[in-house]
Structure 1
Amino acid sequence: MELIYVDHAATSPLHPDVLNEMLPYFQTHFGNPSSIHQIGRQARQALDKARRTIASVLNVHEQTLIFTSGGTEADNMAILGYALEHKSKGNHIITSKVEHHAVLHACQELEKRGFDVTYLPVDETGRVKLNDVQEALRDDTILVTLMFGNNEVGTIQPIEEVGQLLQEHQAVFHTDAVQACGMVELNLSQLPVDMLSVSAHKINGPKGVGLLYMKEGIKVKPVLFGGEQERKRRAGTENVAAVVGFAKAMELSNRSIMERTERYQKFAQTLIDVWSKKEVDFYVNGHQHERLPHVLNVSFPYVNIESLLMNLDMASICASSGSACTAGSIEPSHVLVAMFENESERVQSAIRFSFGFGNTNEQIERVALDTAEIVKRLRQQEEYIS
């Protein structure tokens, strides 16, 4: 039975063209880009070329890009680095309750260090209200960090509106665009953000590499200490092969945004149409219009999600839950709790399907039909036990 992977929001397979681009930098051009001999210069040239490529895709200057080990480090560099560097200006941070843990845990660490953090609520679509951002702003607010698109439900935040709101305020604006990159156009010459985080492995690039865009003039305190790489902003020998792959993945994903958006929207509609036809009881979570096209989060009321995921896995379908499973128990997703605090059944019965490279119409139809069959069987078992 063919294995069907619909968990691309967790990680994505390496594109063959990306792998081919990377291979020479593991053996032939393996040099340290800080070395002055010809092997080192070859690595430096590749690094510089990759930086130019990504800068061109994002429409920014090369020197504004800092390569990191991934989205988590980029988020930490932006949040911890900026707050610690500018604490003399204030100690107030604004974020939301639905951020990735790379952001939430960084903010919690700042609270331990004496900073005051406001965690904004969201509505039932997972969106922050602009008025809440405005009301939360204080004279001592130095940083606002809101994710571009949510990794669990796909909801896109009003990034442009928040950025415009902050134009006359001292607070800088950071956005975690890890899930949005490659799915929506990121023209940073027009987007009103000061810092932005991206990770390669979400766009069919390699794991272990990401970047932080930092607008010219923004300064952060380094979170790593060592050499003077990345203009003294991020110590450590650059992962040349990964950066080269990252650049190729950015090129490929940016080139096909419109085509993939249309395809993924059709995939989501196929699932919804089949479940409706099969009279499956379900709710779609997240904003219906302001959403990332590759993420579909659905609640199947009164269905045990661990059982559903196990049955899907046995049917060779790889999806994921909106909840974190630990020691046999389910702790509800913080994103869904923020959205549906009083609807525990909807929170605890959510599953995420996320589409990507390699998925076909035939695969999605099988996912829809198998999911419908499994959900109905599990509901019948639940009713029998009750």
Structure 2
Amino acid sequence: MHHVKVPFYIYIIGTPLNHINWYEKNKTQTADWQSEVGNLPPKAVVIADDTTKADDAYRLACEGTALLYRGDFQNAKQLLQAITRRVDRKPIKPAATMLEAFHQHRARQIGRANITNKILIELKYGQCELPRAPDVKAAVQGALILDEKTDKLPARLVLSLRELLGMVGAHEWRKKGVPIHALNANIHAHYGVYSPVRGEYLELVDQVPLNNPQVAWDIGTGTGVIAAILVARGIKQVVATDNQPRALACATENVQRLNMQTNIQVLPADLFPAGQADLIVCNPPWLPAKANAAIEHAIYDPDSRMLKGYLNGLKAHLTPSGEAWLVMSDLAEHIGLRQPDELANWIAEAGLDIVQRLDTKPKHGKARDDQDPLFAARAKETTSLYRLKSR
């Protein structure tokens, strides 16, 4: 086992500034380090191969030692699966409340990731040179480099096998896309951008009454799917904003795929662009809790900052007869993360009135999975679209 002290840097998409060191072939090796969740490079790294036993790997991973795999790629996947099974065998303590169950579930997720992320893979210019490895370069490039025309992947890059498999899976979904009934077309989510797989909230956006708005804004656009639905419903001018580079690139690509460039302008902004709009739409993250990875910012909104920022900024940005739509789930209320009357109070405090509320029930698998630790809350969940107007 070799302990190597490493400095702390920040990894920027397409420009890895962090480094990992390990001892191999009688000398210290160095490579760029990638961690989507911002983990520091492991200080202890050992070499693993097809002879490494799962129990030994699991013990080392639990101790904080990472294993850089040098054997067959498919065997590396099997080792990862074996370690994951061992993690999942840990008994789950009964929770007294749904809130306790939520925090326990999150802690288990983080602990599971910390251990399973200890199986590492090295890439050379984005390619994995292990036997039976798939061609992963396009997936890695799509995840780490926003400009697809460039090929600037590092000569040596080390990352967790779990993260690499996530990139490959996201790349396949990106190519395939998610069918959107309201568009009669597919939306293609980039790595790190939340995919619109929960179609029930999009049905609300497609069905809610429109008051002939001339200009609409989609705040926190993500893939750009809501902006596209607004155009499909007849709105000629839509501004889609986001503060995440991946989301901006993703929305721009989807707008081009749908040939809506003349109708949708994608802009970087922290919530609102300048000016006013007749219709302002936002589907903020639904759960007020800490996000532990970039993709989780589409689900978790610490202290409800985005939700409150959206509500409190509406009066200044709506035209006198303008309307705002808030798409929000009440899952947080059923978990205990938000009190039942808090959202209504925040809307009132922002000087807004609820004109109408349209509700729908979730259709995703977790809502019917009684093995899910949050099933009791998910079974009661309602997704709503609030039509709001200034007082």
Q: TM-score, normalising length from structure 2? A: 0.26
Is the helix fraction higher in 1 or 2?
A: 1
Is the strand fraction higher in 1 or 2?
A: 2
Considering Cα pairs closer than 8 Å and 6+ residues apart, tell me whether 1 or 2 has the greater RCO: 1
Instruction: Specify the structure having the higher radius of gyration (Cα).
Output: 2
